[in-house]
């Protein structure tokens, strides 16, 4: 019988969808604190360079939510999760100063944006507040 390795990393999957019409028009962006509270300057520059920035903002918001779900840490501020693109166009996820890597795929239509993420589940979340926290305490994260 094989002995279970307690130090083995657990993997998580996260998925999220956003309705593009929920995002304010780009013309209102400079006055809207929402964009600056959720997105980094690099993300704002990327999205505003597109014909319809709302589609790209929605995809990145979905990506941030999916990444949080995949690593099992709902306590990361969305602005700590940055989604940029490699030269070939593939999205890259950087999570604060943790060095966590999350594989992500983003897509959108004219009305919806969706993201799916895959990464190592954070074990630190269970000890963050000095007690064990269940996945139900973190929004019902699936494993």
Output the 3-class SS for 26-76: HHHHHHCHHHHHHCCHHHHHHHHCCCCHHHHHHHHHHHHHHHHHHHCCCCC
Q: State the pTM of this model.
A: 0.77
Q: How many residues does the chain have?
A: 143
Q: What is the pLDDT of residues 24-55, one digit of tens each?
A: 876 655 667 788 889 999 999 999 999 999 99
Q: What is the pLDDT of residues 47-103, one digit of tens each?
A: 999 999 999 999 999 999 999 999 887 777 888 999 998 899 899 898 887 777 789
- So what's the pLDDT on residue 8? 55
- So what's the pLDDT on residue 129? 40
- So what's the pLDDT on residue 28? 52
- So what's the pLDDT on residue 125? 46
Q: Residue 110: which region, alpha, beta or left (left: phi > 0; alpha: psi -120 to 50)?
A: alpha
- So what's the pLDDT on residue 133? 41
């Amino acid at each position: 019988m094989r002995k279970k390795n307690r130090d083995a990393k657990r993997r998580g999957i996260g998925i999220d969808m956003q309705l593009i019409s929920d995002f304010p028009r780009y013309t209102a962006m400079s006055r809207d604190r929402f964009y600056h509270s959720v997105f980094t300057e690099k993300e704002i520059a990327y999205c505003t360079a597109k014909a319809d920035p709302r589609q790209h903002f929605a995809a990145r918001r979905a990506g941030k939510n999916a990444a949080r779900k995949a690593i099992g840490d709902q306590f990361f501020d969305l602005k700590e999760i940055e989604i940029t693109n490699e030269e070939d166009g593939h999205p890259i996820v950087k999570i604060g100063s943790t060095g966590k890597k999350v594989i992500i795929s983003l897509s959108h239509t004219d009305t919806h944006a969706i993201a799916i993420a895959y990464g190592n589940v954070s074990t630190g979340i269970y000890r963050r507040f000095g007690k064990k926290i269940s996945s139900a305490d973190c929004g019902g994260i699936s494993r």
